[in-house]
Amino acid sequence: MKVAVGQFAVGNVWQDNARTCVGLMAQAASNGAKLLVLPEAVLARDDKDPDMSVNSAQEANGEYLHVLLEESRKNALTTVLTLHIRTTAGRAANTLLVLRAGAVISRYQKIHLYDAFSMQESRLVDAGNQLAPVIDVAGMKVGLLTCYDLRFPEMALSLALAGAEVLVLPAAWLRGPHKELHWSTLLAARALDTTCYVVASGECGNRNIGQSKVIDPLGVTIAGAAQAPALIYAELESERVSAVRAMLPVLKNRRFAAPRLF
């Protein structure tokens, strides 16, 4: 399966961000990708207004999603991203959406909110309470996570035990001391924990690091971006997952019961 990972700097005008997403979708589809992973919170962002992502939240069937679904109708590409969806007055859900053939085929409300490093996502965002189902993309099983979920190995393990061969992760990973090291280390660790591919998109710009990556089941980076807008590609193979799991059977060798998240 050919996958694409797009990263860009989300701006404060949602129409411009939607056009960027549409352009990346069209480019990925034209280059034969079956799966495209875009960053977290791509509706709107402003470095001077940390609440813009929530304050600009739209309804579940809002205009932003309508624009993306129009593009999605043109091909069989599966696109993964997150948007803030309005819940109650002044609050939103950080919602991962999976688009294919003009429809939302799966969604996941971010479970682990980023209340760390002096940030408090839960101040305006409502946490989800269940994993998304593992989905099929071009014959491979794909599990869904969002950004801070990366720091919780039991979530990735639960998805792998549910059949995932690939973990996808839209993110907006904030800059800070050692944060780039955390990002690269955790991506490799989750691949090794689960013997899954990890396909991670990072929003770039002044506040976030970019550095989108595709990691193979042995923790090796097989495609990566730097800090500028980019669209990268990699080939994923079920046979590679099977081969790694045969020589490194951590899912079979574990001695603890499957984690219960809720």
Averages of pLDDT over each 10 residues, the chain, 262 residues: 98 98 98 98 94 95 97 97 96 98 98 96 97 96 98 96 97 96 98 98 96 98 98 98 98 84 66
116 torsion bin: left (phi>0), alpha (psi -120 to 50), beta (else): beta
Considering 71, 121, 141, 147, which one is annotated as catalytic?
A: 147
- Out of 34, 40, 71, 203, pick the active-site residue: 40
Angstrom distances, CA of residue 63 to CA of 12, 57, 59, 154:
15, 11, 8, 35
pLDDT given at position 261: 67
Q: What is the pLDDT of residue 257?
A: 78
Q: Which domains does the chain have, with CATH numbers?
A: 2-245 (3.60.110.10)
Contact predicate 150/171, CB 8 Å: yes
Active site residue 203: no
- Concerning whether 147 is annotated as a catalytic residue, the answer is yes
Q: pTM here?
A: 0.97
Q: Return the residue matching tokens 């069209």.
A: 26
179 flagged as catalytic: no
